[in-house]
Amino acid sequence: MKRARESQALRPPAFEYQGAASEAHPAELYCEAVALEGIAARHGTPLYVYSTAMIRARLNAFAQAFRSIPYTLCYSVKANSTLGILRLVASAGVGFDVVSGGELHRVLRVSRKAASKVVFSGVGKTAAEMELALRSGILLFNIESASELQLLSATATRLKKRAAVAVRVNPDVSAKTHPYISTGLHQHKFGVPIPEAQKLYALAANQPYLEVAGVSVHIGSQITDVGSFQEALERVADLVRALRDQGHDIRYIDAGGGLGISYEGAQGDFEKQIAAYAKAVLGPLRGLSLHLLLEPGRSIVGSAGVLLTRVLYRKTNNGKRFLIVDAAMNDLLRPSLYGAYHEIVPVNRGTRETEIIDVVGPICETGDFFARDRKLPLVREGDLLAILDVGAYGSVLGSNYNTRGRAAEVIVNGARAKVIRRRESLRDQLRMEES
């Protein structure tokens, strides 16, 4: 018999409660058509679970919002680089934004054809990484300094392979986000001031194997004020006009990524959000006849993932309450690194009784926490919790701190759940070391 859907949805079409939510019959949290309790029972915890439907819905929303202009979506690999996620994204025909040779290798592993839609960003590209990218035939290098331009020119000349380049400009625009993920101000290490950029374009135009092709800008991550994007693109559009007046064939504008998601409370209408974002980006580019490159990451996969974790112990210290769970900061670093908020919900929701409590991991650091003084439904030792919106900058920031293995990862497609990364064993961790 099909279960009735709980009235309060979490992250449709990905994560929803099913059932009546009573003490006798708790509502169960599902990923698409699969119960999360069942997935955890089969694969253990901590465990990342991703929704195929959510990722596809977000990709489709971008396609609809930008259909009026030639564009290429270049998924930002740093948001989540698990091969199963990259394969799903590649199957939609989109490209990739990479910031290292390792990320490029991952893209090539899932699709050699995707190289022609790869943009290579980042401030510290090495000669070996440039060589890999040149031999792979990527679409565009985003240059971040004069020294990098010279090294790319030397590498391309040695290989006798042409490199299409854009200069990443720093527009000195505030992204109004966490300072660690803001990249568009002059005090940040990223990009080149616009007046200096014009000199780099003149230098690049005189290199035999470099081809001036575009302008790049990226002002940060988790940006919810679309006005910041518009302000940055207005400055970039002025630069494009000036460069064309100087004889440069500017065909691409790489508008970067950075569109934020809601981590707290009900999710907004993503189609409405992406429409506002598209309006902010496209307005300044009107009349320029350009091919737009976009580098979304978080907005594609962020809400498509949860981290499942079991309650190991309940503990009280002089009235202060703690839930000690089996996930830790090595599995999900964002709360410790950024003070980031993630909603936490019981996978089986029956009781209406609540408490104020800290949710913490077992690592020997006071900074190993997921929530502090959080109002949560009362749960018991052994109960399963879901930490929401961890599809971006979750597993990809994992480590082996305290000699803990990285979590397993599962992707759900309808009624099917598939392991896309097995749980890391102690043997996996030690195999590169010598005693």
State the DSSP string of 27-66: EEEEETTEEHHHHHHHH-SSEEEEEHHHHHHHHHHHHHHT
Question: Does one domain contain both 182 and 274?
Answer: yes
Per-residue pLDDT at 177: 43
Per-residue pLDDT at 140: 98
Question: Does one domain contain both 207 and 140?
Answer: yes
Whether 193 is in a domain gets the answer yes
Per-residue pLDDT at 9: 57
Residue 364 annotated in active site: yes
Question: Does one domain contain both 262 and 288?
Answer: yes
Q: Which token pair is 44?
A: 């253990």
If you count them, how many residues does the chain have? 435
* Contact status, residue 96 vs residue 74, Cβ threshold 8 Å: yes
Question: Does one domain contain both 223 and 78?
Answer: yes
Q: Which token pair is 320?
A: 């202060």
Whether 57 is in a domain gets the answer no
Q: Which token pair is 26?
A: 């708790």
> Would the CA dihedral through 40, 42, 48, 53 be positive or negative?
negative
Per-residue pLDDT at 220: 76
Whether 59 is in a domain gets the answer no
- How many domains does the structure of the chain reveal? 2
Question: Does one domain contain both 230 and 267?
Answer: yes
Per-residue pLDDT at 194: 86
Query: 24, 266, 364, 432: which is the annotated catalytic residue?
Result: 364
Per-residue pLDDT at 209: 98
Burial class, 146, CB count within 10 angstroms (exposed 0-12 / middle 13-18 / buried 19+): middle
Instruction: Give 66's contacts (C-beta < 8 A, 6+ positions apart).
Output: 73, 278, 282, 292, 294
Question: Does one domain contain both 340 and 276?
Answer: no
Whether 60 is in a domain gets the answer no
Chain-centre distance for alpha carbon 32 = 21
Q: Which of 281, 296, 311 is the last residue of a domain?
A: 296
Question: Does one domain contain both 165 and 202?
Answer: yes
Give me the residues paired with residue 320 across strands: 317
Question: Does one domain contain both 146 and 108?
Answer: yes
| Structural domain boundaries, residue 262 | 66-296
Q: What is the pLDDT along the chain (435 residues), one digit of tens a residue?
A: 333 333 345 898 899 999 876 666 789 999 999 999 999 999 999 999 999 999 999 999 999 999 999 999 999 999 999 999 999 999 999 999 999 999 999 999 999 999 999 999 999 999 999 999 999 999 999 999 999 999 999 999 999 999 999 999 987 654 444 444 444 345 454 568 888 899 999 999 999 999 999 999 987 768 878 888 898 899 999 999 999 999 999 999 999 988 989 898 777 788 999 999 999 999 999 999 999 999 999 999 999 999 999 999 999 999 999 999 999 999 999 999 989 999 999 999 987 899 999 999 999 999 999 999 999 999 999 999 999 999 999 999 999 999 999 999 999 999 999 999 999 999 999 999 998
Q: Which of 296, 323, 344 is the last residue of a domain?
A: 296
Question: Does one domain contain both 105 and 175?
Answer: yes
Per-residue pLDDT at 232: 86
Per-residue pLDDT at 190: 59
Whether 61 is in a domain gets the answer no
Q: How far apart are CA 105 and CA 114, in angstroms?
A: 11
